[in-house]
Chains A and B, each alone.
Chain A
Amino acid sequence: MPHPLHALARRSRRLLAVAAIFCLGLSESGLAQVAASATAVDSSTATAAYLLNFLRFTEWPPEPGASDIAAPYVIGVAGNRDLLDSLITLVEGRTVRGHPLRVTRIKDARNALGCHVVYLEGEKIGDDYLLSPDEVVPLLQGRPVLTVSNAPGFVARGGLVQLFREGTQLRFAINTDALPATGLALNSRLLALSRKPPAAP
């Protein structure tokens, strides 16, 4: 909860991220070496990069009657202001398959209905309001919304993608059982990298 130190913490992560990105940017020897470098990015920056990639490797069913092919893809974020900031920086001026990207903070499960990707923070950070997966997931059942969260047991609770820590890496697990009902088509590269989620506590 709110405390000056929390603001510091928030900044700290952003700063760390930018510092890391800065170092990445200096790496002339190509991206292949990025992974090998010891430079770490902070978790909100990594999560933002994941969300962008999930969007890239997911196809949404055509919306009936939708003719505007340039309608934006909407990424909704609940409970993590740092991620919101990282994501906004990351998607600035970028498009995916010709669609502009819109990042929005969501405070209500119903806001998630208008999103393509929804991220639910699983850990209380500062003053941010958390949205419970149990509130959001049932509402989105069978709808083409890619739900992502780092909440423990998210996949077991019906969510589609769970992010979790594995050593020093951030990994993800895909709920392949729930996918067909949503109409979402996930690229095989994404599915191939999916891991088994840790057992919920």
Chain B
Amino acid sequence: MPTPDSRSPRAPTFAASSRKTGWSLLLFTACIGPAGATERGKEDLASLELEQLVELPVEFVSGVSKYEQSIRQAPASVTVLTAADIRNYGWRTLGDALRSAPGFHIRTDRFYDYIGNRGFTRAYDYNSRTLVLVNGQRINDPIYQQGSVGTDFLLDPDLIDRIEIIQGPGSSVYGSSAFYGAINVIPKKGRDLSGGQISATFDSSAGTKGRLTYGDRTADGVEYLLSATESHTPGQTNFPLPDDWRASTGRPDERISTEDGTRQRQLYARASWRGLETEAAYGRREKDVPPPVYHTLPGAHAADTRAYWLARASGSPFADATLSLKTSVDYYAYDGTFRPANDYDGDLINEFHERRPKTRSVSLNNEVRWHQTSAAGHSLLLGTEVQNNLRLHSSNPNLEQPAYSAAEINTSSRYYSPFAQIDYQALPGLRLSTGARYDDYSTGESRLTPRVGLIWDYTRVTTVKLLYGESFRVPNLEERNPSEPRGVANPDLGPETARSWELACEHDFSKYWAFDVRLYHTRSDGLISFHEPAPGSFSYQNAANYETRGGEIGTTTRFASGITTRASVTLQKTTDESSGADVADAPHLLGKLNLSVPLRADWLRASAEIQYVGDRRDFTAPARDTGDYLVANLTVRAAPVWRHWDLSASIYNLANARWYDSMNDGQIVAPARTVVLRVSRDF
């Protein structure tokens, strides 16, 4: 695939987004029943006479029954990771957690982390094809549609209660960007803290991170949580610069880069009372950008800032029904400073002009949702989401040759999206889930995306799901209006689409051992691609059609001894229809093993993960191999010790394996062995 010659600092990603709130929550709690009924039930149980209470039959099952069944009833393949997993395995970012999930491979260029979800990643795709949500709130921004999972993700991983990874198309609920999947991050609540927590982290590159969190729930029922995080990490200060960087910059003698530092500041607050909830998050990450990323001179850096505020209200106007309203304001800012090797004035020139790409967006999102359930197990969801992207700004000035600056873009857009889902309990154990969403964009696109799932769960030991779903992604601002003087807007550029079939089977061999098999086929049409018919001009076109076939098996065990394991093997193949050849960065084989063993009954635990990513090719033409890799990470955690302390030590890339990841343009060496120590104390 061709790449922009000017190595435009932070070229593509996307514009215009949609959003859906709390939907996956709804998926998972679909059978929890209406709030109205819950209220009545709660009333009854609380007013039960003591004499009746002692006679009440109690279900003592503490195993894996109902909630998993509700996950099983969801019309998608779902993996759930918890706060305990995050601490036990020492995951530093959301991307670290995804690395352990079936079917994912994550590559990093030390600027951003890129999600390979069921098959492949694409050059200049900043995770626009996987939707990232916090509590149902869309994180993919309206400019690049970037779903951050690296250090630029706005929430400290220590504040995560649960990560729900939903694979397969999700546009029928979430709209654009839920192209190959969605990741919903559920933060902790005040009750999880019931007090304060202070935490410090030190890493072997002399990086430090500090966090202060306080949360509780008052007698009036007000629940709140406040948290602040700050971190400074030098990163790897001795990694080798690749030959192609030395060639393109004309600096053959520079061999080592020291540009890998990260500075982060994150604030998070939430409060709730009865059916009212408000939440605010702010995250700013400044990153020293390693020279290979855009073939820039040393000294490049960029800042990503994301923030949102939201308010939610929900209640039960009628029995068996829940009405939810949500409003939110989102802010996104990106500021870069680069001196890319190449610029263009009719011919490629090597003048290292300073470029200052800058983007801003402010969006307002409103959503209303009605959820109705019936005693027979049917459920109906109706909703509408409206998003106004009030301000979309993009500029990429060339400070030294203003004539080579990109045209500044100031625009706005909006979309309107009604959606519905009906879950019909056809027979005991047989559920038909049908849903669709219609997205209407002010930029001209409109799309109806359906999803149908047939879920057989009669025995409650074996679940079989047959799923069909469609998804789409609208072009982003960069693809519509390339921020390069030689970029040509393509008025015919439309949404890219995908259709996906999946057959999934989950089986519990015992309460300690669960097993699943998934087979999937995805056809992606009109994938938005960089097109450069001749030097001097380029545009984006709906050019590539891909076909993905894959299968995976996974198993989880949880023994009474406290030993837990999770393992999966994925085989997949993605081919480009036009050439019949495999696409870039698409490993055929992925293997994951997570193993956690208690060393001392209740306070000391060792957790190891081993990940294998098969052979890949990079995005250059002609493509070069990036090879395969095997990486192991080890974390030993002591908690609780001395009453309030939680201590852990992690070694990432235990064997100091050396491998390369694809970048937009070339390859970059993956991070070497790193040691991290964490200390936290409750007060």
A interface list, Cβ under 8 A from B: 1-16, 18-27, 31-32, 34-35, 38-43, 45-46, 49-50, 52-53, 57, 72, 74, 81, 84-85, 88-90, 92-94, 100-109, 111, 123-127, 129-130, 165, 168-172, 189-190, 193
Contacts and interface: CB of A to CB of B under 8 A. Distances in A.
B217 A104 contact: yes
Given A10-B67, A15-B31, A100-B220, A4 B79 contact: yes
Interface in B61-101: 61-71, 79-85, 87-88
B194 A107 contact: yes
Nearest to B46: A90
Contacts of A2: 82-85, 87-88, 564, 596
B33 A18 contact: yes
A126 B639 CA distance: 13
Contact of A18 (B41, B87, B218): B41
Question: For this complex, into which size category does the number of interface residues on chain B fall?
Answer: 35 or more
Nearest to B193: A105
B67 A193 contact: no
B534 interface: no
B57 A4 contact: no
A108 B57 contact: no
B28 A170 contact: no
Given A40-B59, A46-B58, A189-B50, A9 B217 contact: no
B61 A42 contact: yes
11 contacts: A2-B84, A4-B85, A14-B67, A20-B41, A41-B57, A42-B61, A104-B191, A104-B194, A105-B195, A107-B643, A109-B643
A43 B60 contact: yes
Contacts of A123: 62
B41 A25 contact: yes
The 8 closest A-B pairs by CB, nearest first: A2-B84, A21-B41, A11-B67, A72-B219, A127-B84, A105-B194, A102-B219, A12-B67
Contacts of B459: none
Nearest to B644: A108
Contacts of B253: none
Contacts of A168: 57-58, 60
A83 to B, nearest CB: 11
Given A1-B596, A15-B31, A92-B274, A108 B59 contact: no
Chief secondary structure at chain B's binding surface: mixed
Interface string B35-62: 0011111111111111111111111111
A31 to B, nearest CB: 6
Nearest to B62: A9
Contacts of B82: 2-4, 6-7, 126-127
A93 B221 CA distance: 7
B328 interface: no
Interface string B287-311: 0000000000000000000000000
B45 A24 contact: yes
B192 interface: yes
B643 A108 contact: yes
Nearest to A2: B84
B162 A7 contact: yes
Given A3-B558, A16-B61, A34-B48, 19 more contacts: A4-B556, A5-B64, A5-B564, A9-B63, A12-B66, A12-B67, A19-B33, A22-B33, A25-B38, A31-B52, A46-B58, A84-B191, A89-B38, A105-B192, A105-B194, A107-B643, A108-B644, A170-B54, A171-B54
Given A4-B79, A43-B59, A43-B60, A88 B191 contact: yes
Contact of B44 (A25, A38, A193): A25
Given A19-B33, A88-B191, A125-B62, A169 B56 contact: yes
Contacts of A50: 53
Contacts of B274: 92-93
A107 B682 contact: yes
Nearest to A107: B682
Contacts of B602: 124, 130
Contact of B50 (A4, A19, A23, A53): A53
A123 B602 CA distance: 11
Nearest to A102: B219
